[in-house]
């Protein structure tokens, strides 16, 4: 068995054992599994399996993403945290020196998020709000290094841009998971992606890379961008 960091993704590791090769992060909340993921102990350090079929950020790494702006000590604004599956891994990666604001507007998943992640970790706070109205949480959220948007809404690129204009530091990066079918169920996915990317570029964001998330998610891409 061995654990090896994946060079551009500090805090993300490959765990190899008996023919298995899994993506893992170091567990900040020892002994606790957030969504049923397996825990592994190697030389006194505990790691959590990061399941790419449950998390588009993990899928993006396995699908060839080149790099990203998340690492130890970074501040993150996470739009669409749901019950905290991916957020918990982001929390592991940024570590106790980092901080994440988790925006979610659905009360049921928000209460799971609070139980499973926010109450148990000191580097995450939940923001019960609609990401379409960032000015409502402007008093709670500081400038951040990185914004991740996974809200599966037809106007999600515009929502990301409005949040980036308010909260993203100069030189900070954004990533967005674009699900073609959430935006337009009949149009060709490629056309939907191009339109969403144009919305980001029109706001001054420079797209750095796009990755198709198949086979983990069909008709989804991940886009990484930055204000230049
Ligand atoms: N990112 C999550 C993960 O990987 O663990 C999954 C997110 S799920 C695809 C989308 C989430 O975004 C849902 O929980 C939904 O309630 C939330 N959402 C959708 N529109 C939103 C909005 N305008 N403001 C805040 N949350 C929103």
Residue 31 has pLDDT above 90, yes or no: yes
Ligand 1 contacts CB of residue 219 (under 6 A)? no
Rounded CA separation 21/122 (Å): 30
Instruction: Determine what percent of the chain is predicted with pLDDT higher than 70.
Output: 100
Ligand 1 contacts CB of residue 156 (under 6 A)? no
Ligand 1 contacts CB of residue 222 (under 6 A)? no
What is the whole-number distance in angstroms between the Cα of residue 164 and the centre of ligand 1? 17
Q: Give, as one character, the DSSP assignment of residue 113.
A: H
- At residue 156, what are phi and psi to the nearest 5 degrees? -65, -30
Q: What does pLDDT average to over the chain?
A: 95
Pocket test for ligand 1, best of 35, 55, 82 (most atoms within 8 A of CB): 82
- Under the banding of pLDDT at 50, 70 and 90, the label for residue 131 is very high
Residue 35 has pLDDT above 80, yes or no: yes
- Under the banding of pLDDT at 50, 70 and 90, the label for residue 186 is confident
Q: Give, as one character, the DSSP assignment of residue 88.
A: H
Tokens of 161: 């841009």
The answer, as to whether pTM is greater than 0.95, is yes
The answer to whether the beta carbons of residues 50 and 30 sit under 8 Å apart is: no
Rounded CA separation 10/93 (Å): 7
Rounded CA separation 93/6 (Å): 12
Please tell me whether residue 146 adopts helix, strand or coil conformation: strand
CA-nearest of 110, 166, 176, 157 to 134 is 166
Ligand 1 contacts CB of residue 174 (under 6 A)? no
**pLDDT of res. 181:** 79
Q: Is 106 exposed, middle or buried (0-12, 13-18, 19+ CB in 10 A)?
A: middle
List pLDDT tens digits, range 144-166. Answer: 999 999 998 989 999 999 999 99
List pLDDT tens digits, range 45-94. Answer: 999 999 999 999 999 999 999 999 999 999 999 999 999 999 999 999 99
Instruction: Determine what percent of the chain is predicted with pLDDT higher than 90.
Output: 89
Residue 182 has pLDDT above 80, yes or no: no
**pLDDT of res. 76:** 98
Compute CA 177 distance to the chain's CA centroid, rounded to the nearest angstrom: 9
**pLDDT, average across residues 12-32:** 95
**pLDDT of res. 88:** 98
Please tell me whether residue 227 adopts helix, strand or coil conformation: strand
Ligand 1 contacts CB of residue 176 (under 6 A)? no
Q: Which residue has the higher pLDDT, 184 or 106?
A: 106
- Under the banding of pLDDT at 50, 70 and 90, the label for residue 184 is confident
> Closest residue (by CA) to atom 6 of ligand 1?
82
What is the whole-number distance in angstroms between the Cα of residue 18 and the centre of ligand 1? 36
What is the whole-number distance in angstroms between the Cα of residue 153 and the centre of ligand 1? 9
- Under the banding of pLDDT at 50, 70 and 90, the label for residue 40 is very high
């Amino acid at each position: 068995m061995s654990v090896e960091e994946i060079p551009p993704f500090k805090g993300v590791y490959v765990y190899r054992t008996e023919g298995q090769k899994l993506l893992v992060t170091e567990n900040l909340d020892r002994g606790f599994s957030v969504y049923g993921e397996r825990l592994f102990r190697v030389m006194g350090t505990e790691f959590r399996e990061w399941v790419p079929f449950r998390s588009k950020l993990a899928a993006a790494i396995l699908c060839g993403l080149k790099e990203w702006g998340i690492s130890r000590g970074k501040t993150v604004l996470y739009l669409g945290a749901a019950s905290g599956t991916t957020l918990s891994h982001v929390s592991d990666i940024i570590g106790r020196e980092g901080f994440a604001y988790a925006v979610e507007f659905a009360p049921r998943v928000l209460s799971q998020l609070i139980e499973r992640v926010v109450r148990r970790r000191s580097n995450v706070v939940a923001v019960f709000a609609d990401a379409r109205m960032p000015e409502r949480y402007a008093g709670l959220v500081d400038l951040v290094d990185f914004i991740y948007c996974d809200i599966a809404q037809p106007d999600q690129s515009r929502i990301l841009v409005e949040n980036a204009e308010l909260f993203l530091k100069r030189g900070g990066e954004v990533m967005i998971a674009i699900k073609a079918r959430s935006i337009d169920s009949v149009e060709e996915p490629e056309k939907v992606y191009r339109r969403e990317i144009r919305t980001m570029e029109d706001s001054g964001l420079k797209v750095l890379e796009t990755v198709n998330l198949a086979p983990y998610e069909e008709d989804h891409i991940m886009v990484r961008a930055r204000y230049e």
